[in-house]
Chains A and B, each alone.
Chain A
Amino acid sequence: MRTVRIGAGQGFYGDSLLPAIDVAKYGNVKYISFDTLAELTLAILEKGKKKDPTQGYAKDVIPMMRNLLPICAERGIKLITNAGGINPPGAAKAVAQVARELGLKGLKIACVTGDDIYDRLDELAAQGVAFRDKETGQELGDVRERVHFASVYLGARPIADALDQGADVVITGRTTDTAQFLGPLIHEFGWGPTEWNKLAQGILLGHLMECSGQVSGGNFQVGWEEIPALERIGYPVSEVSEDGSFILTKPEGTGGAVTLNTVKEQFLYEIHDPTAYLTPDVIVDLTTTTLEEVGENQVKVSGTVGRPAPPTLKALLGYADGWMGEGYISFSWPKAYSKAKRAAEIVLKRLEMQGVAPEETRLEYIGINSLWGAMAPEPVDEDTINEVRLRIAIRTQKKQDCEVLAREFPPLLLSGPPTASAVAGTPAPRELMGLWSTLIPRELIEPHTRVLVEEV
Chain B
Amino acid sequence: MTRKVRLLDICHARSGDKSDTSDISLFANDPAAWEIIRRHVTRELVATYFRPVATGPVERWEVSNVQALKFLVHGALGGGAPRSLRSDNLGKTFAAALLRLEIDVEE
Contacts and interface: CB of A to CB of B under 8 A. Distances in A.
Contact of A372 (B14, B19, B97): B97
Contact of B87 (A223, A318, A321, A364): A364
A291 interface: yes
B53 to A, nearest CB: 5
Contact of A373 (B29, B53, B81): B53
Nearest to A135: B19
Chain B: number of interface residues, binned into ranges: 35 or more
A270 B18 contact: yes
Nearest to B19: A435
Nearest to B25: A268
B99 interface: yes
A374 B78 CA distance: 13
Interface in B33-53: 49-50, 52-53
B4 interface: no
B93 A221 contact: no
A261 B78 CA distance: 30
Contacts of B61: 273-275
Contacts of A432: 82-83
A289 interface: yes
Contacts of B85: 324, 360, 362, 393-395
A271 interface: yes
A371 interface: yes
Interface residues of A, number: 53
Contact of B23 (A272, A366, A375, A395): A272
B63 interface: yes
Contacts of A214: 14
A370 interface: yes
Nearest to B24: A268
Contacts of A286: 63, 65
B2 interface: no
B52 A374 contact: yes
Interface string A366-391: 10001111110000000000000001
A39 B17 contact: yes
Contacts of B53: 372-375
A437 B72 CA distance: 17
A264 B25 CA distance: 9
Given A40-B90, A264-B27, A324-B85, A288 B65 contact: yes
A375 B49 CA distance: 8
Contact of A433 (B21, B27, B83): B83
B100 to A, nearest CB: 8
Nearest to B61: A274
Contact of B14 (A269, A360, A433): A269
Contacts of A40: 81-82, 89-90
Nearest to A395: B85
A39 B29 CA distance: 31
Nearest to A219: B14
B58 interface: no
A283 interface: no
Contacts of B32: none
Contacts of B83: 321, 395, 432-435
Nearest to A319: B83
B13 A221 contact: yes
A433 B82 contact: yes
Contacts of B87: 364, 366, 370-371, 391
A424 interface: no
Contacts of A220: 12
A318 B81 CA distance: 11
Contacts of A373: 52-53, 86
Contact of A371 (B19, B23, B63, B88): B88
Interface of A: 38-40, 43-44, 135, 214, 219-223, 261, 264-275, 286-291, 318, 321, 324, 360, 362, 364, 366, 370-375, 391, 393-395, 432-435, 437
